[in-house]
Structure 1
Amino acid sequence: MTEAVALAFDDATYTLRQLDELAGGLAAELSAAGVRRGSRVALMSSNRPEFVVAVRAIWRLGAAVVLISPAWRTVEVTHALDVSGATHAVGDNAVLAGLMTMRDLDETIPRGGAAFAEPDPEDDAVFVFSSGTTGLPKAVRHTHASFGAAVRHWRVALELTDADRIQVLTPPSHILGLLNIVTALDTGVWVRLHRRFDLDTMLRHIEIDRITVEMAVAPIALAIASHPDLESFDLSSLRYIMWGATPVTTSVAEEVTRRTGVGWLPAYGASEVPVIACNPIDGARLDTVGRAVPGVHVRAVDLETRAPSPPGVPGEIVVRSPSLMAGYLPESENDDAFVDGWYRTGDVGVVDDDGWIALVDRSKEMIKVRGFQVAPAEIEAVLHGHLAVADCAVFGVDDGVGGERIVAAVRTVTPIEPGDLIDLVGASLATYKRPSAIVFVDDIPRLPSGKVLRRVLRDTVVRDRVLEESHGCTSDK
């Protein structure tokens, strides 16, 4: 009987047995190099099958994987190594190789069949770095128990079976990429790994490989919606497209569904709690991230008192779950991470009587305007509805009197007057939510997860305003 393909990459395919043989060979090498139970091994790799092999090899030894983005530079990687205490390294990246001895994944991995003990559930499994927007990132520590719970939650939330087929185009160094790969291999889902993200490649392989579940973050969703030849691709194999990392931009999602007939499945998670909530497969609502998955407890608490908020009243979303991280490194980052044993997500949202969760914004990104709390996402949703707007991000700048003014950075596809966009917001939302300025930009900086780097935008705009005003002009173009 022919063994089922577990992983495809370019023209190569791998069965689980072949992946395990390669993992066994690499594990033997790493063991000889001193990797033991409790070791922390940095993994900085491009998208390739050897990434998957390395994760499985490190786990076989009872060691933990320290996932480092291949896009990081020396300062960021040095910080990650210092914070995590990594003692060994595997990868294909020159930056990591320049900082410590690295087992190069470009070198052939021998096959091996040695037996290894199952890791202890409470042992560290993986360190990922949070997508914080201020300062250097902190390490999120997951045990085999917590990450294993996340895998089970993801399988249930997406209703995955061995009949499903997925593809991974984004870096697996992010929690969602790793979660997708591990869940697929554990469930028997066929998975194609791509070298990098390319929209046409993604759409073409949905058609060629008959992909059943596609994953998307905001920039990918926007790219799909604006693809001029979207209708030329056969996407009929898709059961749904999962939207995660940021709240759904309804106009973008509806445009994709109108053009393809494929619906969306909004879901919600974080590096610290990989799976928090998900919509039902049938009857998904674009205005919510769904309900808490079985085994996860979610509630909203008052932003000031941290007392539980009544149903339907906005508050910070807090979570308890067996998939909750074991904590941050450095340890000092844990001081404000929990309230009464609940993890503080930093997201503002409401939980209604039926358990539906609707996210409003990030608590640290709320803009204080004349005593009012304004959610950037609310204004962004209005701006995204204009045909001239390709992308946008809203943030606050100091108004000089103890509050903030609203500024919208906008990337356009056709010219439009700033006043027209300000009036659009004013016609849709309360007067105090009108932007005081529209700044046209060439790009909206985002993390790989799709989250906007508002701090970077704000700092750039403030800096440019000082420079331009010193020359007698303004940055409000």
Structure 2
Amino acid sequence: MTDTSTIDALLRRHAAAAPATTAVIDPENRLSYAELDQTSRELATRLITAGIRKGTRVGVLLPNAVTWVQLACAITRIGAVLVPLSTLLRGGELSAQLRTAAVQHVITTTEFRGRRYPEELDALDRAGLPALQRIWTYRDVLAIDTGGVPDGFVAALAATVRPADPMAVIFTSGSSGAPKGVQHSHGNAIAAVRSGLKARCVTAETRLYLPMPFFWVGGFSGGILTALTAGATLITEATPTPEATLPLLARERVTLFRGWPDQAEALARHPQAAATDLSALRPGSLEALLPPEQRGAPGARAKLFGMTESFGPYCGYPADTDMPASAWGSCGKPFPGMEVRIVDPDSGVPVPPETVGEIQIRGRHLMRGLCRQPRHEVFTADGYYPTGDLGRLDAQGFLFYHGRADDMFKVSGATVYPSEVEAVLRAVPGVRAAFVTNIDGARGNTCAALVVGDTDVLSQDALHAAARAELSAFKVPGRWLLTEDEDLVPRGATGKLDVRRLRALLARS
């Protein structure tokens, strides 16, 4: 069988085997696999003319669109290293990521959501960015004359790319601290995606809608690389809104909706939803958009679990299938190629089944390392990566998530896992999201909660009563902030909850 462990090999395979199959769709454009193969090769020729070669680090600062996919394929198929950059980044954050990843070229959109990125990039202090050689707009790249590149040069350069070669640097952050540049190779990234396709119910016939930005691993791995690995069709948009997304789902006969549960829930609540034909959606999609008979019982379907360092999910269960009852509420089981162990957070010693501790992972699908950090500072001596996540494995090997190690706190000497409290609050009718942490109260450390929901039917008294009915008294929040505004939830540049800002927000409430 032909090796398909590089981006170039995947593109050539699908272009030959299913040239007319649609590869990617946005609200204004669509490309077949043959067209994606051809246009990305032409784009790669322009990049080569610009001086980009194997190993060159190229930042991409664009919103979700067909052009993002073309550019990502062009960069990676010739062995250059893709560095997705968030359109949410501001000056200092952007400089830090460019510096950490030693980005040499940046390709940016001209304008998005009222921001003119070329001007913002030009305003950066270039003295602190010694690797940066040039900033291009996407239009600049399209205007490059390719007359000096011999025929077949792209194919020759692509042929030198091996599965072990670096493919991308993707930024992530924990609940606090500076973002980390996570390095992935072609081989580990594609293998990680391939190991989870069955659990995510993705095949070549899938028409996958994904709203997540491509600059995060959820969009790049769960969208672009998932579709490309399976030979599926990817549907996306730059600025999802219910008014635009619902017609897009119907028009493109989307079969699988993955992404954020809260977006699916918002779509399901929208007045336009009842009149929208979503009959093409299949089980495995986020359940808020499925008819009741296609949903699992509460907690019966696995919550796919992963991180940037594992290039997306490393743990799951077929998303259209109920797990055994004893595993309800779990994240499923580790995918083939990934080992998971639970250790005592203080000693690092493995703990018995059903014991909560820090999750450590090891395997061929794991990242190659972190930018500017030596291997011994990233991995344990026996090759495990300490994730900073808390969890437990049951006797059957199902993984249960218990929050972040740095989010865990104590009240009156007793341990509180925020995820446990959040799960109880999310089960209250009218609650859309819940975020729990600790603050310093009049009597010492206390539990506090930000709840997003319908304030017409919710009250602090009702939430307090619901928590008391299910939780020990020390786990019941003593400070509440109830809002309908989801934008009030503090998030960092990579979209993760900013716990420090959450604590400050709750302390002021």
- Shorter-chain TM-score: which interval? 0.7 to 0.9
Count of matched residue pairs: 453
Q: Aligned pair in 2 of structure 1 residues 210, 427: CA closer, same or farther (>3 Å)?
A: same
TM-score norm. by structure 1 comes to 0.86
Residue in 1 aligned with 2:417? 375
Matches within 5 A, 1:59-138: 59-92=76-109, 93-94=117-118, 95-96=120-121, 98-99=123-124, 101-107=134-140, 109=142, 114-115=154-155, 116-118=157-159, 119-138=161-180
Give the residue type in structure 2 aligned to 1:404.
Answer: N
Structure 1 residues 360-418: Cα deviation after superposition (integer angstroms, max 9, x where no partner)? 211111121122211112212222233343432111013588x6211112234225543
Give the residue type in structure 1 aligned to 2:314.
Answer: I
Matches within 5 A, 1:23-62: 23-62=40-79
Residue in 2 aligned with 1:364? 406
Query: Do the aligned residues in 1 keep the contact of 2:361 with 2:385 (CA within 8 Å)?
Result: yes
Report SS of the residue matched to 2:400.
strand
Alignment partner of 1:266 out of 303, 322, 329: 303
Q: Give the Å deviation of 1:168.
A: 2.7
Stretches of structure 2 lacking an aligned partner (at least 5 in a row)? 1-17, 110-116, 125-131
Query: Do the aligned residues in 2 keep the contact of 1:238 with 1:262 (CA within 8 Å)?
Result: no
Matches within 5 A, 1:298-309: 298-309=340-351
Matches within 5 A, 1:229-268: 230-241=273-284, 261-262=294-295, 266-268=303-305
CA–CA distance in 2 between the matches of 1:218 and 1:418?
Answer: 24
Residue in 1 aligned with 2:247? 204
Report SS of the residue matched to 2:387.
strand
Q: Aligned pair in 2 of structure 1 residues 225, 107: CA closer, same or farther (>3 Å)?
A: same
CA–CA distance in 2 between the matches of 1:199 and 1:166?
Answer: 17
Q: Is it true that 1:310 corresponds to 2:347 in the alignment?
A: no
Residue in 1 aligned with 2:445? 404
Higher mean C-alpha displacement, 301-310 vs 444-453? 444-453
Query: Do the aligned residues in 1 keep the contact of 2:439 with 2:506 (CA within 8 Å)?
Result: no
Q: Is it true that 1:194 corresponds to 2:237 in the alignment?
A: yes
Report SS of the residue matched to 1:147.
helix
Q: Give the Å deviation of 1:330.
A: 2.8
Give the residue type in structure 2 aligned to 1:194.
Answer: E
Report SS of the residue matched to 1:142.
strand
Matches within 5 A, 1:424-443: 424-441=466-483, 442=485, 443=488
CA–CA distance in 2 between the matches of 1:144 and 1:298?
Answer: 22
Residue in 2 aligned with 1:157? 199
Matched-pair identity in %:
29
Q: Aligned pair in 2 of structure 1 residues 81, 162: CA closer, same or farther (>3 Å)?
A: same
Query: Do the aligned residues in 2 keep the contact of 1:393 with 1:410 (CA within 8 Å)?
Result: yes
Q: Aligned pair in 2 of structure 1 residues 151, 30: CA closer, same or farther (>3 Å)?
A: same
Give the residue type in structure 1 aligned to 2:448.
Answer: V
Residue in 2 aligned with 1:250? none
Stretches of structure 1 lacking an aligned partner (at least 5 in a row)? 244-252, 465-474
Give the residue type in structure 2 aligned to 1:387.
Answer: P
Query: Do the aligned residues in 2 keep the contact of 1:22 with 1:109 (CA within 8 Å)?
Result: no
Q: Is it true that 1:278 corresponds to 2:334 in the alignment?
A: no
CA–CA distance in 2 between the matches of 1:97 and 1:218?
Answer: 37
TM-score norm. by structure 2 comes to 0.81
Higher mean C-alpha displacement, 216-225 vs 371-380? 216-225
Residue in 1 aligned with 2:335? 293
Q: Give the Å deviation of 1:187.
A: 2.1
Structure 1 residues 117-138: Cα deviation after superposition (integer angstroms, max 9, x where no partner)? 3312222110111132323211
Residue in 1 aligned with 2:499? 454
Q: Give the Å deviation of 1:84.
A: 0.5
Higher mean C-alpha displacement, 330-339 vs 27-36? 330-339
Give the residue type in structure 2 aligned to 1:80.
Answer: Q
Higher mean C-alpha displacement, 191-200 vs 109-118? 109-118
* CA root-mean-square deviation: 2.7
Q: Give the Å deviation of 1:429.
A: 0.6
Q: Aligned pair in 2 of structure 1 residues 83, 29: CA closer, same or farther (>3 Å)?
A: same
CA–CA distance in 2 between the matches of 1:334 and 1:199?
Answer: 47
Structure 1 residues 130-176: Cα deviation after superposition (integer angstroms, max 9, x where no partner)? 13232321111111121121222132432422111112322100112
Q: Give the Å deviation of 1:289.
A: 1.1
Query: Do the aligned residues in 1 keep the contact of 2:435 with 2:449 (CA within 8 Å)?
Result: yes
Residue in 1 aligned with 2:391? 349
Report SS of the residue matched to 1:50.
helix
CA–CA distance in 2 between the matches of 1:202 and 1:287?
Answer: 29
Q: Give the Å deviation of 1:336.
A: 5.3
Structure 1 residues 246-289: Cα deviation after superposition (integer angstroms, max 9, x where no partner)? xxxxxxx6x66565745565311110002311112453345111
CA–CA distance in 1 between the matches of 2:91 and 2:224?
Answer: 27
CA–CA distance in 1 between the matches of 2:141 and 2:53?
Answer: 22
Matches within 5 A, 1:320-335: 320-331=362-373, 335=377
CA–CA distance in 1 between the matches of 2:268 and 2:401?
Answer: 22
CA–CA distance in 2 between the matches of 1:184 and 1:429?
Answer: 42
Query: Do the aligned residues in 1 keep the contact of 2:210 with 2:235 (CA within 8 Å)?
Result: yes
Give the residue type in structure 2 aligned to 1:457.
Answer: L
Residue in 2 aligned with 1:248? none
Report SS of the residue matched to 1:117.
helix
Query: Do the aligned residues in 2 keep the contact of 1:284 with 1:290 (CA within 8 Å)?
Result: no
Higher mean C-alpha displacement, 186-195 vs 231-240? 231-240
Q: Aligned pair in 2 of structure 1 residues 265, 189: CA closer, same or farther (>3 Å)?
A: farther
Q: Is it true that 1:173 corresponds to 2:215 in the alignment?
A: yes
Query: Do the aligned residues in 1 keep the contact of 2:47 with 2:141 (CA within 8 Å)?
Result: no
Q: Aligned pair in 2 of structure 1 residues 333, 68: CA closer, same or farther (>3 Å)?
A: farther
Q: Give the Å deviation of 1:221.
A: 4.0
CA–CA distance in 2 between the matches of 1:417 and 1:157?
Answer: 38
Report SS of the residue matched to 1:335.
helix
Give the residue type in structure 2 aligned to 1:181.
Answer: I
Q: Aligned pair in 2 of structure 1 residues 218, 316: CA closer, same or farther (>3 Å)?
A: farther
Q: Give the Å deviation of 1:207.
A: 2.4
Residue in 2 aligned with 1:16? 33
Higher mean C-alpha displacement, 208-217 vs 92-101? 92-101
Q: Is it true that 1:185 corresponds to 2:228 in the alignment?
A: yes
